[in-house]
Amino acid sequence: AQSVTQLDSHVSVSEGTPVLLRCNYSSSYSPSLFWYVQHPNKGLQLLLKYTSAATLVKGINGFEAEFKKSETSFHLTKPSAHMSDAAEYFCVVSPYSSASKIIFGSGTRLSIRP
Amino acid sequence: DTAVSQTPKYLVTQMGNDKSIKCEQNLGHDTMYWYKQDSKKFLKIMFSYNNKELIINETVPNRFSPKSPDKAHLNLHINSLELGDSAVYFCASSQVAGGGTEAFFGQGTRLTVV
C-alpha cells in the first residue's frame, strides 16, 4: 500500500526567507514522487518530480526537493520566498506498478508575510 | 492548446437534478482520472480509466457514473445530486496508470448544489 503524509497543514514565512514543506511517503514499490501547487481558485500545476534519477530535483519557480530513501521523505524547499508563492502545495506518490493510484497528501497551505 | 480541458468550469444546480461534467485530453495519454476536492482541499480519487476500461473505482455512491467513449474522453455523470456533492471535481490524465508518471490536471469544475 502507498500513502503520503504532509506534516504541516499550514506554513507561514516572511517574504525573502526560506521555505520548507515536509512530506513523508510510504510505498510497497519504488515510488515516483511529485509536488503540485494549486493557487487560489486554480487548477493543479506540477512543480517537480522524482523518478529514480538524481535524488535532488529542481523544479519551477526556484523550488527543489530531495528524495531521502532512508528517511522516506521528499521535502520541498525554496531559498527565498516570494509573495506569489502563497498557495496550496500537495505531495503526491505514484508507485511503479500498473493500475495504481496517484495518491495525494492532505496539502500544506503556504502563507507569505510581507 | 489546453492539454486537459473540462467543462463546465462552474455548475450550480438544485438538489435532485442530474448533471454531467465533460473531460477531454489531447496528450495521447492512456489513463484518465476523476478526483474530488472537498472544502478542506483534500483530493480523493474517484475513478480511473485505462484505454476506456475502468481500473479504479473507489467507494463512490453509484449515483456517480463515469463514461469513457474513447481514451481521450472521460465524462462524469451524477444522478440525484445532493448537497454533499458540492465540491471541485478535477479530471486528469497520465501516460500509464500509476507507473511513476505524473498526472496532468484540468482546471476543475466547481459544483454547487443548492
Cβ distance A42 to B33 less than 8 Å, yes or no, reads no
Q: Which of B23, B25, B34, B41 should one mutate to test binding to chain A, selecting the residue with the greatest count of A CBs within 10 A?
A: B41
The pLDDT tens digits for B30-73 are: 889 999 999 888 999 898 888 888 877 777 899 999 999 998 99
Residue B25: which pLDDT band, with cuts at 50, 70 and 90? Answer: very high
- Find out whether A61 and A47 touch, Cβ atoms under 8 Å: yes
Dihedral sign from CA coordinates of B14, B15, B17, B22: positive
Q: Please list the alpha-helical segments (H only) found in chain A.
A: none
Residues of B in Cβ contact (< 8 Å) with A92: 103
- Give the C-alpha separation, B43 to B89, whole Å: 9
Position B54 scores a pLDDT of: 83
Cβ distance A104 to B50 less than 8 Å, yes or no, reads no
- Give the C-alpha separation, A103 to A10, whole Å: 20
Position B56 scores a pLDDT of: 77
Position B51 scores a pLDDT of: 82
Q: Which amino acid, A11?
A: V
Residues in chain B: 114
Position A27 scores a pLDDT of: 77
Residue B17: which pLDDT band, with cuts at 50, 70 and 90? Answer: very high
Q: Which amino acid, B76?
A: L
Examine the pLDDT at B20 and tell me if it is beyond 90: yes
Examine the pLDDT at B98 and tell me if it is beyond 80: no
Position B100 scores a pLDDT of: 67
User: How far B55 CA sits from the closest chain A CA (Å)?
Assistant: 6
Nine-digit cell string for A50 = 522524482
Position A4 scores a pLDDT of: 92
Position A97 scores a pLDDT of: 57
Cβ distance A101 to B45 less than 8 Å, yes or no, reads yes
> What pLDDT tens digit does each residue of chain A (114 aa) get?
778 999 999 999 999 999 999 999 987 777 889 999 999 888 899 999 998 778 899 999 999 999 998 999 999 999 999 999 999 999 998 866 555 578 899 999 999 999
Position A47 scores a pLDDT of: 96
Element housing B21 (H / E): strand B19-25
Return the residue of B nearest to A43 by Cα: B107
- Give the C-alpha separation, B73 to B4, whole Å: 10
At CB < 8 Å, which residues of chain A contact B? Answer: 30-32, 34, 36, 38, 42-46, 49, 51-52, 88, 90, 92, 94-104, 106-107, 109
